[in-house]
A and B are shown apart, each in its own frame.
Chain A
Amino acid sequence: MTAQNLMNPNPVTLRPTDTVATAATHILTHRLRHLPVVDDQGRYLGTFSIYSLLRLTLPKAVIMEEGLRDVSFTTETIDGLARRLRERGSEPVGQWLSQDDPVMHPDTPTMEVMLLMLRGRTTSVPVVDQHSNRLEGIIAFWDVLEKLLVETR
């Protein structure tokens, strides 16, 4: 069995021009952690995830490399943070993609899929065609677990 058999071939995807607000709605309604972003030709560009949302809600001085490690001195309320997110709501998701997350190919073996999830501490991984870079589908940990439980029965 390979990634091809495990993946969901019709995942919810975003375009780079979609707004942060749209992405947040998708994430909340489908309870998804990672949304793959593709261009007009369906080529994979990166992932917009719950971590992208957290990053754009927090001040730059906190998320940057060598930024503040500890902000327990701040007293920002949820309102303040909500306002930050709202202000960013109309920005395109294209600026907030993570591009170095692991990806898989349709022929990636199952064990490698599971190892990538463990090492990358991620619950879903995009499946991308090696040559055309087209997004073929996405594998969520739930898909893998489901298959595992069916097999044990």
Chain B
Amino acid sequence: MHGSGEALPSIIFGLNPMVFAAILFILTYAVIMTEKINRAIVALLAAGLMILGGVLNQEAAIRGVDFNTIGLLIGMMVIVAITRQSGIFQFLAIWSAKKVNASPWGILVMLSLVTAVTSALLDNVTTVLLIVPVALLITEELKVSAYPYLFSMIFSSNIGGTATLIGDPPNIMIGSALGLTFNDFVLNLAPIVVVAMAVTLIPIYLIWGRRLKAADEDRQRVMAFNEREAITDPLLLKKCLAVITTVILGFVFAHSLGLEAATVAMTGAAVLLLLQCWPLDAEHQSKRVLQAFNEVEWITIFFFVGLFIAVHGLDSTGLLELLAERVLHLTGGDPTATTMTILWSSAVLSAFVDNIPFVATMIPLIKSMAGTFGGPEGLMPLWWALSLGACLGGNGTLIGASANLVVAGFAERAGQPIRFTRFLLIAFPLMLLSIALATVYLYWRYL
């Protein structure tokens, strides 16, 4: 991705381009971290300044944008926007709660599993946005504290999302930049994700689970819920399930069909829009399409676009290559040391800062290490380390991932707020536990 072929001016505002791009990039990071200015605005300004400052021209900037990531994100967001209207998320939550006889600990496990699986196949934020209200209603009926449920759902959404190409933005970016397939992610990450999920539930059981008790009559009220009534539109649900199944099969076979993930997701989105709109008149069609498009998270999308350009600018000055050499110098070019450095540093950093800009920066940096590790094949453990670190690291603090913030918002409104420090004291060690498991896994399987 780094463009040695692109002609760079030798001086920008009296600075050499590398220094200019580095200062601009560090400022961008700093402003994103303060959260004083919307992150999409910051990233787009940074992209504009990279071009205005002469680090990149517009053509080079556009080459820096990974449209496969953008297309995959938008396609999946449209599919989820339509699917959520069917009530399937609420159905799954209630159905799973009744499967365990509405026992408080059973419900916690089931809701965590539902969250993990839907986060892996769809997206984390929508999953928690729709399942948390059901969890709050159930805990209110059972007269138990919602805190352990919300805590566990935060962990499940981030752990589950780690398992697939489409589960979490870092995976989408890594997969897209390297041409990795859906199956590559499932085969390499799902085993450790299953273990991490199971092991995480143990401390949750010891801390809260074993003390969760509910009266029989309260459990009866939950058992009396009729989950079928949660399906608001059965016909729409059938269409959504058909499209989601086809899209996931599409991801599985994309590589052998010579297709990219964005093609599969965007085509799936178009087909689902067609199924939802046909045979309505023009006005109602526009309304439905607009409704679906309105739910695409444009802030995230434009954040990605700006960031890709800013990172490409930085990369084209050769700075990331220099940084990579520095990292290799520190680890002595040893694959194990380099993999573990990437795993642990990305986990700790992702707990506090947005993992999207971090991963966007790490991708070209790791790519430039190919020479030391005997070509792209030798880099694979590094990529899995980056993915595991960046995705699981999000569990470390309340601000580590966007799903955490959504859950925290619900907790606040339900009058059972999740405090930053109280969360950190248990979440950070638990996150480190999952990284320790990942360490063993990476060592055992790849090193």
Contacts and interface: CB of A to CB of B under 8 A. Distances in A.
Interface of A: 59-62, 64-68, 70-76, 80
A73 B230 contact: yes
A75 B224 contact: yes
Contacts of B69: none
A68 B90 contact: yes
A75 B226 contact: yes
Given A66-B410, A70-B232, A59 B134 contact: no
Contacts of B225: 73-75
A70 B230 contact: yes
Nearest to A63: B413
Nearest to A68: B133
A76 B87 CA distance: 20
Interface in B225-249: 225-230, 232
A76 B141 CA distance: 10
| Interface SS majority for chain B | helix
A64 B414 contact: yes
Nearest to B217: A80
Interface residues of B, number: 24
B224 A59 contact: no
29 contacts: A59-B136, A59-B141, A60-B140, A60-B415, A61-B414, A62-B137, A64-B136, A66-B133, A67-B133, A67-B136, A68-B90, A68-B134, A68-B137, A70-B87, A70-B90, A70-B230, A71-B137, A72-B229, A72-B230, A73-B90, A73-B94, A73-B226, A73-B228, A74-B137, A74-B224, A74-B225, A75-B224, A75-B225, A76-B221
Nearest to B91: A73
A26 B246 CA distance: 60
Nearest to B141: A59
A74 to B, nearest CB: 6
A137 B85 CA distance: 46
B136 A60 contact: yes
B227 A73 contact: yes
Contacts of A76: 221
B134 A61 contact: yes
A26 B336 CA distance: 74
Contacts of B137: 59, 61-62, 68, 71, 74
Contact of A65 (B221, B232, B413): B413
Contacts of B186: none
A80 B136 contact: no
A60 B227 CA distance: 20
Nearest to B137: A61
Contacts of B226: 73, 75
Contacts of A71: 137
Contacts of B230: 70, 72-73
A87 to B, nearest CB: 10
Interface centre among B137, B141, B221, B232 (most CB of A within 10 A): B137
B327 interface: no
A80 B220 CA distance: 12
Nearest to A70: B232
A60 B232 contact: no
B129 interface: yes
A66 B129 contact: yes
A19 B221 CA distance: 28
B126 to A, nearest CB: 12
Contacts of B87: 70
A61, A66, A70, A76: most-surrounded residue (chain B CB, <10 A): A61
A121 to B, nearest CB: 24
Quick one: which of B133, B225, B414 has the most chain A CB within 10 A? B133
Contacts of A60: 136, 140, 413-415
A-B residue pairs, 5 tightest by C-beta: A61-B137, A61-B136, A73-B229, A64-B413, A75-B224
Given A66-B410, A66-B413, 11 more contacts: A64-B136, A66-B409, A67-B133, A67-B413, A70-B87, A73-B90, A73-B94, A73-B228, A74-B224, A74-B225, A75-B221
Interface string B404-419: 0000011001110000
Nearest to B232: A70
Interface in B94-150: 94, 129, 133-134, 136-137, 140-141
Contacts of A59: 136-137, 140-141
A65 to B, nearest CB: 6
